[in-house]
């Protein structure tokens, strides 16, 4: 992560930490991400079982798309035809929409969903799949008519996505003011995770087994109240536990 990207990330994380509502979260994000062409934030969990269209909207965590598009999307039951949703269920890393919009990969219904989305300014996007400790699947999308993001910036958006979802759920669940204390091993493992190291690499660097590295990272994640490793890294950065 470049110094400029790190500074932007920390600025956004600090602003998100002061958020008390979904509107605050959107205000913390959109002005700072406008340079990437990002105008919309959409986050939702994806129910495992097919649900009636009228109940699908209850799984939305955060979004600021046009009311007309929201009504249209859910009245048509598009969640299960949406190729972005399907790719989110298949993927473990962030992806740009152009990767899934190849003509040979979309059926007529999926092309219809994407075509209608473009009419509402959702022509391009970067989606980050997320999963909870209970193995629920969901994701967060940064979208706009045309995004200007490089592959090197995907990591920043991935980190922000995880933290945004965590903060939104925290707002729903109420504030917490507990002080966090990590052991030296937990802090070190989290620092290496922030550098993009795998469990095996962290174990080698710390002189412990891969399972030992995973144990320390899981412990740090639980203490920080995070559901994913990426969110734990973001929380560690925000609290100054890692740099």
Give this prediction's pTM. 0.73
Domain boundaries, the chain: 3-173, 184-238
- C-alpha–C-alpha distance, residues 159 and 181, integer Å: 22
Confirm if 106 and 15 have CB atoms less than 8 A apart. Answer: no
Closest Cα partner for 180 from 227, 220, 218? Answer: 220
DSSP assignment, residue 179? P
**Helical residues (DSSP H) of the chain, grouped into ranges:** 3-17, 22-33, 53-56, 67-75, 83-90, 108-119, 154-173, 184-194, 199-206, 210-223, 229-238
Question: What residues are paired with 131 via a beta bridge?
Answer: 137
**Any alpha helices (H) in 174-224, and if so which ranges?**
184-194, 199-206, 210-223
Fold of 3-173: Beta-Lactamase (3.30.450)
- Asked whether this chain's domains 3-173 and 184-238 adopt the same fold, the reply is no
What pLDDT was estimated at residue 1?
61
How far, CA to CA in Å, does 39 sit from each of 1, 122, 123, 186, 229? 23, 9, 11, 37, 27
pLDDT tens across 3-42, in order? 787 888 889 999 998 999 999 999 999 999 999 999 999 9
Give the sign of the dihedral formed by CA 40, CA 5, CA 28, CA 188: positive
Q: Which residue's structure tokens are 């966090």?
A: 180
Domain 184-238 has CATH 3.30.70.260: no
Q: How does strand 95-96 pair with strand 124-131?
A: antiparallel
Which pLDDT does position 115 carry in this prediction? 95
Query: Quick one: pLDDT at residue 176?
Result: 40
Contact between 243 and 174 (Cβ < 8 Å): no
Residues in the chain with pLDDT values less than 70: 1, 48-49, 51-52, 54-55, 132-135, 172-180
């Amino acid at each position: 992560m470049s110094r400029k990207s790190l500074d932007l990330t920390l600025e956004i994380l600090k602003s998100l930490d002061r958020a008390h509502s979904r509107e605050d979260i959107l205000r913390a994000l959109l002005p700072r991400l406008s340079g990437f062409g990002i105008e919309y934030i959409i986050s939702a969990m994806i129910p495992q079982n097919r649900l009636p269209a009228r109940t699908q909207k209850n799984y939305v965590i955060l979004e600021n798309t046009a009311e007309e598009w929201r009504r249209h999307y859910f009245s048509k039951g598009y969640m299960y035809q949406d190729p972005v949703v399907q790719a989110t269920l298949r993927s473990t890393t962030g992806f740009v929409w152009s990767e899934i919009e190849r003509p040979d990969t979309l059926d007529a219904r999926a092309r219809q969903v994407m075509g209608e989305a473009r009419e509402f300014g959702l022509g391009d996007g970067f989606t980050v799949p997320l999963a909870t400790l209970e193995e629920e699947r969901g994701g967060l999308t940064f979208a706009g008519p045309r995004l200007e993001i490089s592959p090197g910036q995907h990591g920043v958006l991935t980190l922000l996505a995880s933290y945004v979802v965590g903060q939104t759920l925290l707002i729903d669940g109420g504030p917490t003011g507990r002080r966090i204390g990590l052991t030296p091993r937990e802090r070190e493992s989290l620092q290496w995770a922030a550098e993009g190291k795998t469990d095996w690499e962290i174990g080698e660097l710390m002189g412990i087994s891969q399972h030992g590295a995973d144990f320390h990272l899981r412990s740090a994640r639980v203490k920080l109240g995070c559901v994913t490793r990426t969110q734990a890294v973001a929380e560690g950065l925000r609290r100054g536990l890692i740099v």
